[in-house]
Amino acid sequence: MPKPAKNKKLVANLPKGIGVTHAANGRGDPYFKVRLGTTFTGGDVQTRLFKNLGDVREWIFGDKRQGGTTNGVIGMQAAGGASAFAITPAQISDAAWAFDHLGGTSLRDAVSYYLEHARPKGGLKPLSVVIYEHLESLKKSGAAERYCYAQRISCELLLREIEHDAGEDPQISTITKQDIETVADRQDWKPLNKRNYLRDWAMLFRFAVMQDYRVTNPLDKIVRPRVPRKYPEIYTVDEAAMLLRTARDVFPPVLPFVAIGLFAGVRVEELRRMTWEMVDDETIDLPSSVTKKGAEPRSIPIAPNLLEWLKVCRAGRGPVVPDPPLRWWTDALYNEVGFRKRNALRHSFASYYLAYSDSPEKTQMALGQQTPSVLFRHYRQVVKPKQAEDYFALTPDAV
């Protein structure tokens, strides 16, 4: 094969550091070799082979034809200096493919987006680790034990299902909206159950976002099932009288729970934390350590008929609810009377007190609700004023 000879006249006006030679391969096929020396690249020597001078000129000077978009190696050197030649031909090919698919987005922005999502600031954390941290955070924040338990059940189910699909404990940053929808869709859930699980998972991923383990919450884009709203169940005046009478005559330890629930609307979890030191003859004063999720303390006025019941069952000090566990006493009470309605003690108070006081504001304050809309949406059943009068006339002598 003839020895290649450098010939700058093959291409005119070459900058310093660029050389073009003409030779032939072993089969006699001619080719042109372009050499970018260190003077031009500022780093390593680079070479490129071409079949014709037109391609050589285009690679060096850029495509100057109508519609041309490339600037050639001269333009690359002017724009990027030595860094323009630090990448390999394969990397250049990848970059060209990326530009074709980015639709005008810069490669820098695309890489920044990838790094932000694939390598979050908080580091890569397996789903199981984030679940543990989330549950520990709830405990430290003072969340109710039952709420923490519900979160744990929901998160552990998600972990089992995601591990089953992925074959491993995945990084939480890699879990997609589709992954979660796949898990939810194959469960035999009613709409309310599905909505509750999605709500719990949303809390988990919200925690992950707050800790910079993820950039976005995939649950934000999942539509929750619509659940028909049910009106709250309340006890009739006769049912309330039967509960009070049975508690007083058969299960005295549970009478304070029933009376305070019916006539002051204290939540079950708040009753569990209440002590008799919080009750006087005028008000029930609940500190923030007792109110729901550590909310603002509140004072509930004691109705005259409740005061009469407290004279019958009030202890001097200590917990309001009985020991052994409250659940044992309430199950026995409801089995004895033959009926039970979910959260009906509090719902009954809200409905009857609203009609009795004719004041949404007073009712809202007694219940510890932040807005009247919650009262009317979740706690109120239509009660006539006469029914409310009969309800708050229930005293130990009247039942």
Contact status, residue 214 vs residue 235, Cβ threshold 8 Å: no
Which residue, 51, 52, 15, is CA-closest to 35?
Answer: 15
Contact status, residue 243 vs residue 262, Cβ threshold 8 Å: yes
pLDDT interval class at 1 (50, 70, 90): very low
pLDDT interval class at 287 (50, 70, 90): very high
Which is more confidently placed, 306 or 361?
306
Q: Give the mean pLDDT of 264-291.
A: 92
Is residue 33 classed as helix, strand or coil in its secondary structure?
strand
DSSP string covering 222-251: SPPPP----PPP---HHHHHHHHHHHHHT-
Question: Tens digits of per-residue pLDDT, 57-115?
Answer: 888 888 766 454 556 888 878 877 777 777 666 776 677 777 777 777 777 777 776 66
* pLDDT for res 370: 65
Architecture of domain 127-221: Orthogonal Bundle (1.10)
Q: What's the one-letter identity of residue 120?
A: P
Contact status, residue 262 vs residue 345, Cβ threshold 8 Å: yes
Residues of the chain with CATH 1.10.443.10: 237-391
Q: Give the mean pLDDT of 199-215.
A: 95
* pLDDT for res 2: 47
pLDDT interval class at 383 (50, 70, 90): confident
Measured CA distances, 75 to 16, 58, 62, 72 (Å): 14, 11, 8, 5
Q: Does 137 have pLDDT greater than 80?
A: yes
Q: Model-level pTM?
A: 0.54
Q: Give the mean pLDDT of 128-147.
A: 91
Question: Tens digits of per-residue pLDDT, 308-352?
Answer: 999 999 888 899 988 768 889 999 999 999 999 988 999 999 899
Residues of the chain with CATH 1.10.150.130: 127-221
Give the CATH H-level superfamily of domain 237-391: Intergrase catalytic core (1.10.443.10)
Q: Does 230 have pLDDT greater than 80?
A: no
Taking all residues of the chain, what is their mean pLDDT, rounded to a whole number? 86
Cα–Cα dist 365/345, whole Å? 17
Question: Tens digits of per-residue pLDDT, 104-131?
Answer: 777 777 777 666 666 788 888 999 999 9
Q: Which residues contact 348 (CB under 8 A, 6 or more apart)?
A: 234, 235, 240, 262, 391
* pLDDT for res 92: 67
Q: Does 277 have pLDDT greater than 70?
A: yes
Question: Tens digits of per-residue pLDDT, 4-45?
Answer: 445 547 888 888 899 999 988 888 889 999 999 988 888 888
Contact status, residue 222 vs residue 216, Cβ threshold 8 Å: no
